[in-house]
Structure 1
C-alpha cells in the first residue's frame, strides 16, 4: 500500500514537472519564441522584387538559422501597396518586419502603434553603426526601426559624349553649369541633354527649404525663398528655351521611361539614384556601348557651404509591435543590416552599416560589369562626396499641394510669380489648420 501511495505521488510530481517545463520552456519575453513546436516563422514585407536580392537574402539566413525561418512578401511601394501593408498591420495579419520608404509612412505607423520602439534592445548601437544620417529617421527622438540602405542620388553621364564635347566629369557644380552641359551634350546628337524622374525633379526645391527652413521665424511659409523661383525658371528654361529636357506635360502623359532613354542613348545625362545600376547592369535588356560616369547633383546656390542634397539613409525596417516574435525579428534585422543584405547591392541597394566593407559593397554592386563604369567617379558620389544630406520629411499634403502648383507653371497655365504666391498661400492655410 505504501509503495502504491509513493508511486502515485511520484507520478503526479513527474506530470507537474512536465507541465511547468512546457509553460516555462525557452520562451522569451516577447512571446512564442524558442518553443519546442518547431522553428520560429517570420514574415518580412518589402517592395523590392524577390529576384532582385530579397529571396537570396532570406534563403541564406534560413540555411544558417534553421530555428528562425523568414518568408519574404513583396508589396508595391505606391499608395495602393502601402495601403495593403497598413491593412495587414492593423488587422493582425502575418507581418513581423516591414520596410518604410518614406518618413511620412513611418510617422503614420508609429502613431498607429504598429512600429516597435527599439530602445529596449541595447546590444546594437544604430547611431554608431549607421552614422549621423540615421538620426533623421528618429520619431520623438526614438528609433522605431533601423535604416539599412545608403541613399545615393547623382547624375549619370554618357562618358563618351563628355569626352567628345570636351567636358570634364564634375565633382561639384551648379544648375546653371548643368544647364550648359545639357546644351553642349545635346549638340552631340542626343534628343535630350538631361532626363529625370518626376520624383527627382523637385529635389532642388527641398534642398533649398531644408537648408533655409520650410517656415520662417514668424511662423509663415518660406515657399517664396528666391531660390524657389530660380529653380522654377531654370528648369522651365531647359524645357522650353533650350529644349534640352522633356516638357513636363509630355513626360506626365507619356509616362516617359527615362532610364530607358538614357541607357538607349537618347539622353546624355540622367538625374537618378543608385537603382539605375540594376538596369544598367542588365545589358541583355538594356544593351549599351558607352561607359557611365557619375557626378554629384547640382546645387542652386553658388556657395557649396549652403548646400544640402537629397540622400541620407533609406530602407527603414521596422518590427511590428504586435509581432509574437519580436526578439527573433531583432536578431534577423541586425544580421541583415550588418551584411546579410549584400545580395541586394546588385540591385543598387548599398548597406549603410559601417560593418560592411565599402569595396565589397561596390564589387557586389557592379558584378561582372565593372569595366562599363567610370569607377573613380562612382566611388566619389557613393562614398567621398561629403555634402550634407536630408531625407524628405514634410507632410504629404504639402508635397501634393506644391506639385499641383508647379505643374501649372511648367504646363504654361500660370507664371512663376503666381506659382510662388499660390504655394505660399496654400502652405499658410495648411499651417493655420495645423495650429488649431
Structure 2
C-alpha cells in the first residue's frame, strides 16, 4: 500500500513537472516578441497608427522614414478626422478590434474615456522612457489616475497671427504683452475697406475664457460649484460683442457660421489685420501656391482680458498624446515606434506646424522646418518669442465636451442678440451646475 502511494506521488510529481515545463515553454513563447517571430517567418510586423492629421502634412513622411529604417516593423498610417464622427470611428475600431495599434488623442477627456474602456496601455509597464524628463512638467496634464496612458508629443501653440504690413501702416508696434481691450483698439485702426480688424476660428472663441478661469482657480471652485461666470470671462464676451456689433471690426458670429467663412484663407489673402489661430495654420501659410500672399507675418502672444489679471494662462500645454492599444498584438514594437516618433521621428510634422515637445529635438531645426517654403514671409524674431517664451504659462483644456457645447449655445444667443449678457452668464453657470450634479463621483 505504501509502495502504491509512493508510486502515485512520483507519478503526480512527474505530471506536475511536465505541466510546469509546458507552461514555462508557453510563457517563454509568449515573451518572444512578434518581431522575433516575424524574423523567423520572414514577414515584417505590421502596425496601424491612427491620427487626425492629413498624411501629406507630415505623417506620411514620418511613416516612410520609419519603414525605410525598420524593414522588420512596417507601419501604416490611418487618417481619422478629429471631430465627433471621426473620434467615434476610432473608438468603434478600438472596441471591435479593427486594427489599431497606436492612436493619437487630441483632448484629455477623450483619453480618459478610452482608458476607462480599457483601450489604452498603462505605459508605466514600459520602463525605458522618462516622460516627465523628456516632455516636461506640462506632460502631467495627460496623466490619468497618476499614470501615463499616452505620451504627449507636440507643443500646443496658440497665438495671434499679425499682418505686419498693416500694423506698420497703422503705426502699431508688434505687441509683446497686451489685453483684449488693446486688441479691440488696434482692430479699429486696422479695419480698412474689406479688411477686418480681427478674425478667428469658431474654436478659439472659448479659450480666452478658459485661460482666465483656469488661472483664477479652475472651472470648478473649491466648494465644488461652477466657476464659469468668472468676471474676466464675462468681460471677454462683452468685448467680442462690441467688436461684432458696435465697432464692426470682426464678423458677427451669425455671419461667420452662415457663410462658413474660411477665416485662415481670408487672413492669408490680406483680409484681416489680426488672426487668432494656432500652429496648424503654418501648413496653409507655407503653401504659397494655394494661399499666395506677399505681406510679412508677425506673431504676438495671447492677450489677457485685463492688465491686472493674475494667474492668466495661455491655451496650449502639450498634445498629440499617443497611446498604444492595450489589445494590440505588437505592444513592444508599437513602443519602439512611439519612442522613436517622440524623440525625433516626428520632426517632419513641423512642416505642417506641429512643434515637437521632446527636449531631445533641436529647436533651431524645428524653426527651420516650420517655415519651409515661405521663409521670407515671416518675422522670425516675433515667431521665436511666441514659440519659445520660457515665461509663458499654459493649460490643457479639460472641460467636458458637453459643458463646452452648452456654454457655446448660450454665448451664441448673446452674440446673435437673443439673450442678454447677464442672462447668458446665469444660463452657463446653471447648465454647468446641472452637469456637475449629474456627474458627481
Report the TM-score when normalising by structure 2: 0.91
SS state of the match for residue 373, structure 2? helix
Q: In structure 2, what is the Cα distance between the partners aligned to 1:64 and 1:304?
A: 51
- 1:341 aligned onto 2:346: yes
8 Å CA contact 2:35–2:73 kept in 1: the answer is: no
CA-to-partner distance for each residue in 1:262-307, whole Å, 9 max, x for gaps? 0011111100001111101111111111010000011113136421
8 Å CA contact 1:307–1:387 kept in 2: the answer is: no
CA-to-partner distance for each residue in 1:30-53, whole Å, 9 max, x for gaps? x63420222111110001111111
CA-to-partner distance for each residue in 1:198-232, whole Å, 9 max, x for gaps? 11111011112212222223322122221122011
Match of 1:225 in 2: 230
SS state of the match for residue 435, structure 1? coil
Match of 2:203 in 1: 199
- 1:28 aligned onto 2:31: yes
Q: In structure 2, what is the Cα distance between the partners aligned to 1:240 and 1:401?
A: 23
Match of 1:429 in 2: 434
Match of 2:129 in 1: 124
Q: In structure 2, what is the Cα distance between the partners aligned to 1:181 and 1:385?
A: 26
Q: In structure 2, what is the Cα distance between the partners aligned to 1:377 and 1:200?
A: 21
Q: In structure 2, what is the Cα distance between the partners aligned to 1:119 and 1:20?
A: 26
Report the TM-score when normalising by structure 1: 0.92
8 Å CA contact 1:99–1:315 kept in 2: the answer is: yes
CA-to-partner distance for each residue in 1:233-258, whole Å, 9 max, x for gaps? 11000000000011001111111100
Match of 1:69 in 2: 74
Match of 2:391 in 1: 386
Q: In structure 2, what is the Cα distance between the partners aligned to 1:254 and 1:352?
A: 36
Q: In structure 1, what is the Cα distance between the partners aligned to 2:390 and 2:194?
A: 29
**Which 5+ residue runs of structure 2 have no aligned equivalent?**
1-21
8 Å CA contact 2:35–2:72 kept in 1: the answer is: no
8 Å CA contact 1:117–1:144 kept in 2: the answer is: yes
Q: In structure 1, what is the Cα distance between the partners aligned to 2:404 and 2:71?
A: 45
How many residue pairs were aligned? 416
- 1:376 aligned onto 2:378: no
Match of 1:6 in 2: none
SS state of the match for residue 436, structure 2? helix
8 Å CA contact 1:150–1:352 kept in 2: the answer is: yes
Q: In structure 1, what is the Cα distance between the partners aligned to 2:108 and 2:102?
A: 16
Assess, with a 3 A threshold, how the Cα gap between structure 1 residues 26 and 336 changes in structure 2: closer, same or farther: farther
Q: In structure 2, what is the Cα distance between the partners aligned to 1:151 and 1:215?
A: 23
Match of 1:359 in 2: 364
Q: In structure 2, what is the Cα distance between the partners aligned to 1:261 and 1:302?
A: 30
SS state of the match for residue 251, structure 1? helix
Match of 1:104 in 2: 109
The partner residue of 2:215 within 205, 208, 211 is 211
- 1:418 aligned onto 2:423: yes
- 1:134 aligned onto 2:136: no
8 Å CA contact 1:195–1:271 kept in 2: the answer is: yes
Shift of 1:181: 0.9
Assess, with a 3 A threshold, how the Cα gap between structure 1 residues 405 and 366 changes in structure 2: closer, same or farther: same
- 1:160 aligned onto 2:162: no
In angstroms, what is the RMSD of aligned CA positions? 1.8
**Which 5+ residue runs of structure 1 have no aligned equivalent?**
1-18
- 1:397 aligned onto 2:397: no
CA-to-partner distance for each residue in 1:18-74, whole Å, 9 max, x for gaps? x99996887636x63420222111110001111111111111111111111111111
SS state of the match for residue 316, structure 1? strand
**Greater mean alpha carbon deviation, residues 106-115 or residues 33-42:** 33-42
Assess, with a 3 A threshold, how the Cα gap between structure 1 residues 20 and 222 changes in structure 2: closer, same or farther: closer
Q: In structure 1, what is the Cα distance between the partners aligned to 2:179 and 2:272?
A: 20
SS state of the match for residue 186, structure 2? helix
SS state of the match for residue 104, structure 2? strand
8 Å CA contact 2:287–2:374 kept in 1: the answer is: no
Match of 1:314 in 2: 319
Match of 2:273 in 1: 268
Q: In structure 1, what is the Cα distance between the partners aligned to 2:289 and 2:31?
A: 49
